């Protein structure tokens, strides 16, 4: 069975289980059985609210501790953006794909989701304000941030300060962390922020995975920084992925959407970014185009690739011929 198919089946089973549990929570006594109203929880996972040092709106922080003993050097840590939607996916990927059997503890990876309170999946205004760089207008000097909460926001720079100055120290106080194995993962706007962090503070993380990065944003302004980037002595590992259908849909779409997809050029931009970073002096840059994957469905094979990629830093490298897309 192909890994991609196996992964999808595992995820569907997990999601089906969650739906069953949620439905059961609204039921009352049936056939002599009383259903519990208790919430469904991810094992070995906790969450709390954390505010930046400037007193701005808090973030929802979710942490999943892996099974098994703590590695001698501490846990490798994966920081996941859009935590409300992506944290459960990454936990399922780690606990399902990376275990050889029920007794195998799997990958000793601490997963930290960064999301927003009172949000089911995405807080579109806040994520835009946090993930997008603040741009200065050449004629007015005012901040230009399409989709952001306010034009006065400091954008990605402030969010990165929160991660570095507030979130990371808190995680390190509560868990043994391997400072040489810290990873940032982001998708779409989150992928853009991942590359922004790489370009501006490359030593913030050891590994960066940008999935479907929105390099089209603001007339492709971040592409200028990618083109000018030169790696210094610290050379993190980079993985850029994108779904093949993000630029060339497999079925006919309306003219407006087709024009937008062509303008965004998601596949071309992602491939170009990987090529540019390879020429910047970075020694480990990977690019993967996932066949049959759209902007949304690319998360499943992307999560699989991420876990196998991170395992390669924890153990002898594995062959990746089973991964979809080239």
Joined together, the tokens standing for residue 300 give 């499943």
Whether the per-residue pLDDT at 301 is higher than 60: the answer is: yes
Alpha carbon distance 126, 286 (integer Å): 30
pLDDT at 136: 54
Alpha carbon distance 18, 39 (integer Å): 10
Whether the per-residue pLDDT at 20 is higher than 50: the answer is: no
pLDDT at 8: 52
pLDDT at 255: 77
Q: Which residue has the higher pLDDT, 16 or 158?
A: 158
Q: Write out pLDDT tens, residues 102-150.
A: 777 789 999 999 999 988 899 999 999 999 998 654 433 334 444 443 4
Q: Which residue has the higher pLDDT, 9 or 208?
A: 208
Joined together, the tokens standing for residue 323 give 């991964």
Q: What DSSP character marks residue 121?
A: S
Q: Write out pLDDT tens, residues 253-278.
A: 777 878 888 889 999 999 999 999 99
Q: Mean pLDDT score of the chain, rounded to an integer?
A: 83
Whose CA is closest to 286, among 183, 211, 196, 182? 211
At 97, is the pLDDT very low, low, confident or very high (cuts 50, 70, 90)?
confident
Q: Write out pLDDT tens, residues 43-60.
A: 889 999 999 999 899 999
Alpha carbon distance 201, 87 (integer Å): 24
Q: Which residue has the higher pLDDT, 167 or 150?
A: 167
Q: What is the pTM of this model?
A: 0.82
pLDDT at 48: 96
pLDDT at 144: 40
Beta carbons within 10 angstroms of residue 219's beta carbon = 8
Strands (E) located in the chain:
45-50, 59-64, 75-81, 109-115, 135-136, 143-144, 177-187, 207-211, 237-243, 285-290
Q: Write out pLDDT tens, residues 188-247.
A: 999 999 999 999 999 999 999 999 999 999 989 999 999 999 999 999 999 999 999 999
Which spans in 132-287 are helix H?
156-162, 168-174, 189-200, 217-228, 255-264, 266-278
pLDDT at 260: 86
Alpha carbon distance 64, 310 (integer Å): 16
Whether the per-residue pLDDT at 16 is higher than 60: the answer is: no
Token match 């609204």: residue?
Answer: 26
Mean pLDDT of 178-185: 98
Alpha carbon distance 79, 103 (integer Å): 26
In sequence order, the 6+-apart residues with CB closer than 8 A to the CB of 22 are: 40
Range(s) of the chain covered by CATH 3.40.50.1820? 42-314
Architecture of domain 42-314: 3-Layer(aba) Sandwich (3.40)
pLDDT at 317: 38
Cα separation of the two ends of the chain: 19
Number of residues written out for the chain: 326
């Amino acid at each position: 069975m192909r890994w991609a198919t196996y992964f999808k089946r595992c995820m569907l089973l997990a999601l089906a289980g969650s739906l069953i549990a949620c439905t059961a929570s609204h039921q009352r006594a049936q056939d002599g059985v009383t259903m519990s109203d208790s919430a469904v929880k991810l094992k070995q996972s906790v969450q709390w609210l954390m505010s930046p040092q400037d007193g701005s709106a808090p973030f929802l922080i979710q942490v999943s501790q892996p099974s098994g003993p703590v590695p001698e050097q501490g846990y490798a840590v994966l920081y996941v953006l859009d935590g409300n939607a992506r944290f459960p996916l990454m936990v399922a990927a780690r606990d399902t794909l990376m275990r050889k059997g029920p007794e195998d503890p799997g990958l000793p990876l601490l997963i930290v989701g960064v999301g927003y309170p009172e949000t089911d999946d995405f807080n579109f205004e806040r994520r835009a304000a946090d993930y997008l760089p603040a741009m200065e207008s050449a004629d007015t000097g005012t901040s230009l941030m399409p989709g952001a909460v306010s034009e006065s926001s400091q954008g990605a720079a402030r969010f990165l300060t929160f991660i570095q100055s507030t979130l990371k120290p808190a995680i390190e106080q509560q868990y043994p962390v391997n400072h040489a194995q810290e990873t940032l993962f982001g998708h779409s706007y989150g992928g853009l922020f991942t590359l922004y962090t790489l370009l501006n503070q490359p030593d913030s993380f050891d590994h960066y995975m940008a999935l479907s990065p929105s390099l089209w944003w603001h007339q492709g302004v971040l592409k200028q920084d990618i083109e000018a980037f030169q790696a210094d002595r610290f050379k993190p590992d980079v993985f850029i992925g994108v779904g093949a259908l993000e630029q060339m849909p497999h079925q006919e779409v309306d003219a407006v959407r087709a024009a937008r997809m062509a303008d965004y050029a998601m596949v071309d931009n992602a491939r170009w970014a990987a090529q540019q970073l390879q020429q910047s002096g970075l020694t480990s840059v990977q690019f993967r185009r996932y066949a049959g994957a759209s902007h949304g469905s690319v998360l499943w094979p992307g999560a699989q690739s991420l876990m196998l990629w991170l395992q390669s830093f924890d153990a002898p490298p594995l062959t990746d011929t089973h991964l979809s897309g080239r």
